[in-house]
Amino acid sequence: MTDKKISEVSLLNFSAISDQRGKLISLEASKNIPFNIERVYYLFDTIKGAERGFHAHIDLQQIAICISGSCTIDVESAEGKESFTLDAPNKGLFMTGIVWREIRNFSADCVLMVLADALYSEDDYIRDYSSFEALLTSFCFNTTDSEN
């Protein structure tokens, strides 16, 4: 992750192709998706009140899109804490680098689709919050150090 930011989180807005029949959104690798899509997974039938996530990744790019219903994603990164409501299929939350994420407030009809630039690997997960904090601090410290 030498020339990448420590972490980056941003809300993307996908353009829909509309006609009298309705709307269509096309997601294309390296066009409106800023990486090569290696994996797609989706969360659905989430039990009322359930919360998911509670992890960060070491080196994974992801975009989360609520293609039905809504949920909120609370993130913590080098930029601080932010909360995003995904409530429309044209909104995508891009996350890369060291980002702690917690997903909650799933509506009954929520289908949260996630695009990722790598296959599933448990080795890429940081599931312990204190380890996440320590890693983020060490990255921030090293970056500040090298800038001086």
CB 71 within 8 A of CB 106: yes
Structure tokens at 71: 């949920």
Strands 111-116 and 61-68: antiparallel
26-65: which residues touch ligand TYD (CB under 6 A)? 39, 41, 43, 52-53, 55
CB of 95 to ligand TYD, least distance (A): 12
The verdict on whether 55 is a catalytic residue reads yes
Report the residue number, 13 or 68, with the smaller CB distance to ligand TYD. 68
Q: Which residue in 4, 59, 83, 120 binds ligand TYD (CB under 6 A)?
A: 120
Residues with Cβ within 8 Å of 52's Cβ and at least 6 positions away in sequence, in order, are 43, 46, 102, 103, 104
CB of 143 to ligand TYD, least distance (A): 27
Phi, psi torsion values for 123, nearest 5 degrees: -65, -20
- Catalytic residues, by residue number, are 55
Interface residues toward ligand TYD, by CB under 6 A:
39, 41, 43, 52-53, 55, 120
